[in-house]
Amino acid sequence: MITLTSDFGSPYPAAMKGVILQRTDARLVDVAHDLPRQDVRAAAFWLREVVPYYPPAVHLVVVDPGVGTDRAAVVVRVGDHAFVAPDNGVVRPAARALDGDIDVFEIDDSDAASSTFHGRDVFAPAAADVHEAGVENIENVAGITPAADCVDLALPDATVEGDVAHGEVLVVDDFGNAITNVPGEFVADAASVRVNGERAPVEPSYAHVGVGERLVTVASHGNVELAVNQGRGADAFGVQPGDSVDVKK
Amino acid sequence: MITLTSDFGSPYPAAMKGVILQRTDARLVDVAHDLPRQDVRAAAFWLREVVPYYPPAVHLVVVDPGVGTDRAAVVVRVGDHAFVAPDNGVVRPAARALDGDIDVFEIDDSDAASSTFHGRDVFAPAAADVHEAGVENIENVAGITPAADCVDLALPDATVEGDVAHGEVLVVDDFGNAITNVPGEFVADAASVRVNGERAPVEPSYAHVGVGERLVTVASHGNVELAVNQGRGADAFGVQPGDSVDVKK
Amino acid sequence: MITLTSDFGSPYPAAMKGVILQRTDARLVDVAHDLPRQDVRAAAFWLREVVPYYPPAVHLVVVDPGVGTDRAAVVVRVGDHAFVAPDNGVVRPAARALDGDIDVFEIDDSDAASSTFHGRDVFAPAAADVHEAGVENIENVAGITPAADCVDLALPDATVEGDVAHGEVLVVDDFGNAITNVPGEFVADAASVRVNGERAPVEPSYAHVGVGERLVTVASHGNVELAVNQGRGADAFGVQPGDSVDVKK
């Protein structure tokens, strides 16, 4: 199985799939191709949320603002999973979320047919080759060699001081929910909290408040989420990815 | 085969797919994940239009504004098909469109890992389990028990008085066509009709009028559709889903 | 393998997939369903860019502004590939990009269940039938007969006069890059060029200029592309598909 994640929109992912299907009959599963463009951190967050639910797979990840520069192309192996991606840290949080040691390999991209579409010309063939060889045999794949390490990227942690958590918005999902890095446990015993000064109820899910009303919930990722029942929490709370969020009990 | 339908956008459906693929090798087919958010009626309409074209399948449907409340989670079996969905009526019109008696089962969701993402934590595993057991053996799936009935949802019917049909817009499709509930037969013999007072020609398809011009047609769903050749009929006719539409011959 | 390309948005492609899966177990691969609506030329461009990367396949292509008129429905065979599409030229540039002679067949669409959704009622069943028969046996498929020729569509060529290339914008991709028909070789030895009078650097890829800055690059399709690093080149250069572009060295 090969999963595909990018910020390519359409139809560039289809070119990657063609390249892969020339080399393997693997099942292909799209994670997303409409991630925020060139936003390595958002992609890192979503991969971390999604990949742990998958059986062993090769994960092709191309959010690659540095394409055509000297950034490396890497394969990162953790247990039965392998990530094939630009070396910009995008896969590191997901790799940490899996069990196992991390092995890093570098892909030789010196012969890439283009300098703007390594998804098609470097990463797709590498993902197919890793899949065909087997994740346990990456060492045997031509053009892929062991590397010392890869770029790290850590999603920021919230800090807690007494009854206030200082965090930030990591991403806004397609519903408009603002997902923060404040751990859900922080609000577990609160009936309501102040978010950047304004009070909102803490509820188990959206429909526990009226349609159009604001709430704070602990969503499926385990973090504090700023939401509106059948509306866009990010708009109602006035926040965007990267904005700081103080949650006061 | 498991089909997937939701209003999740991206990348939440990918988490559902991972959960499913941990449990089964079934073919996965996306029906849509960009349906109008929390719009149970629109999803019900589209499922009714699409599902009858499928071979036997398990249909995972998650348009679920009531997630995390006491709404039930159900499996609805009709012939060789099974729907796995929240008990909000979303699958009922599609179930009626298939041949066969309807059997209803309830899914035990008391152990759901989240209260906001039952697509991943309740419906995806249930769909995989139903697929693995076989639609004829739902009775044997752990955590799924027979139920008396499920919520019904009936798409509204148009009424005809003499030469006027009183209907409404059910959905607007991605082309901007306004799909009504007025039966196509009503306009079958008309060269033109008045729609909410304004005359428009009745044509077999879009290109029978000039680019940018309005028309009324009987589209693939068998209903009267308000359209513009290479344009957005809903805008030209000034209608939205739920708006009433009078069609006068 | 059957690939699917359309301007249908969602969920109409799912109806096509159901029809296909009633007839074949083929792998289905989406090329794109969000192509610019009714834009035959844009679809022709993208198919030409994507299809050559695929192994032998049946390519179902439905960008069909003339649906329900007397335009024909065709199958175009080139080598191990077959295109199933309306006869509006949309597949011709892709067919030329493949190796082999072109054989044309016509699909009998006189019994189509609808006059507005031939994707579901004509092209999907034909694609499945061609896949099941095998591309080499199209002659044996019921309802498909040899035809003399099909509509041609040629993407326009740029002209070069001395140090100026007169071209046009073919498409704008989802990143906002404006892809022209000026051959990449024209700018291969230039450090910068004037595009419609304004100077921009020629760079191997986006990140060779600062974030938000304009550049000219030779992208993965081999043509001159007007871009902005992490921005929308079409907006910065003030161009849309069809606009003329003069590139002066």
Q: Roughly what angle, to the nearest 10 degrees, separates helices A124-133 and A12-21?
A: 30
The rounded distance, in Å, linking the Cα atoms of A232 and C221 is 39
Taking Cα atoms as reference points, which of C186, C181, C171 lies closest to residue C32? C171
Distance of alpha carbon C182 from alpha carbon C184, whole angstroms: 6
**Cβ contacts (< 8 Å) between C10 and chain B: which residues?**
32-35, 174
- Say yes or no for a CB contact (<8 Å) between B5 and C11: yes
Total residues belonging to chain B: 249
Contact list, C38 vs chain B (CB under 8 Å): 230
Confidence at residue C165, expressed as pLDDT on a 0 to 100 scale? 98
Distance from CA of C204 to the nearest CA of B (A): 32
Smallest Cβ–Cβ distance between B18 and the set A32, A33, A53 belongs to A53
CB contact under 8 A, B10 and A32: yes
Interface partners of B (3+ CB pairs, < 8 Å)? Answer: A, C
Looking at the predicted structure, is the pLDDT value of residue C234 above 90? yes
Q: Round the average pLDDT of chain A to a whole number and report it.
A: 97
Q: Which residues contact C35 (CB under 8 A, 6 or more apart)?
A: A10, A11, C5, C6, C7, C42, C43, C46, C63
Ranges of chain B whose pLDDT falls below 70: none
DSSP A155: P
CA distance C51 to C95: 9
pLDDT at C217: 97
Long-range contacts of C92-96 (CB under 8 A, 24+ apart): C92/C44, C92/C150, C92/C151, C92/C152, C92/C153, C92/C154, C93/C44, C93/C45, C93/C47, C93/C48, C93/C153, C93/C154, C93/C155, C94/C44, C94/C47, C94/C48, C94/C50, C94/C51, C94/C52, C94/C59, C96/C48
**What's the mean pLDDT when you consider all of chain C?**
97
Statement: residue C56 has pLDDT above 90: yes
Q: What pLDDT is attached to residue B219?
A: 87
Q: How far apart are CA A247 and CA B12, in angstroms?
A: 26
pLDDT band at C72 (very low <50, low <70, confident <90, very high): very high
Q: Which residues of A touch C219 (CB under 8 A)?
A: 114, 116-117
Mean pLDDT of A85-89: 98
Largest CA distance in chain A: 59
Chain C positions contacting chain A at CB under 8 Å are: 1, 3, 5, 27, 29-35, 46, 49-55, 173-175, 204-208, 217-220, 225, 229-230
Name the one residue in this structure whose structure tokens are 């209907």: B167
- Shortest alpha-carbon distance between residue A126 and chain B (Å): 22
Q: Which amino acid is residue C85, in one-letter code?
A: A
Q: Whole-angstrom Cα distance, residue A157 to residue C10?
A: 38
Q: Which domains does chain B have, with CATH numbers?
A: 2-146 (3.40.50.10790), 159-248 (2.40.30.90)
Provide CB contacts within 8 A for C48, sequence distance 6+.
Answer: C93, C94, C96, C97, C155
Residues of C in contact with B55 (CB under 8 A): 18, 21-22
Average pLDDT for A177-188: 97
pLDDT at position A15 is 98
Q: What's the pLDDT at C219?
A: 87
Please answer whether residues A50 and A31 qualify as being in contact, where contact means their C-beta atoms are separated by less than 8 angstroms: yes
Q: Is residue A161 over pLDDT 90? A: yes
Token pair for residue C54? 């695929």
Task: Say whether A225 and B116 touch across the interface (CB within 8 A).
Answer: yes
How deeply is A110 buried, as exposed, middle or buried, from its count of CB atoms within 10 A (0-12, 13-18, 19+)?
A: exposed
**What is the least distance, in Å, from the CA of A95 to any CA of chain C?**
26
State mean pLDDT over A243-248: 98
Percent of chain A with pLDDT over 90: 98
What digits encode the pLDDT tens for the residues C107-123?
A: 999 999 999 999 999 99
Whole-number pLDDT of residue B123: 98
Q: How far is C50 from chain A (nearest CA, A)?
A: 5
For A80, other C-beta atoms within 10 Å of its C-beta total 16
Which pLDDT score, from 0 to 100, does residue C18 have?
Answer: 98
Alpha carbons within 13 angstroms on the beta-carbon side of residue A194 total 7
Determine whether the interchain pair C14/B204 forms a contact, defined as Cβ–Cβ distance below 8 Å: no
Which among C27, C34, C55 is the nearest to A10, CB-wise? C34
So what's the pLDDT on residue A219? 87
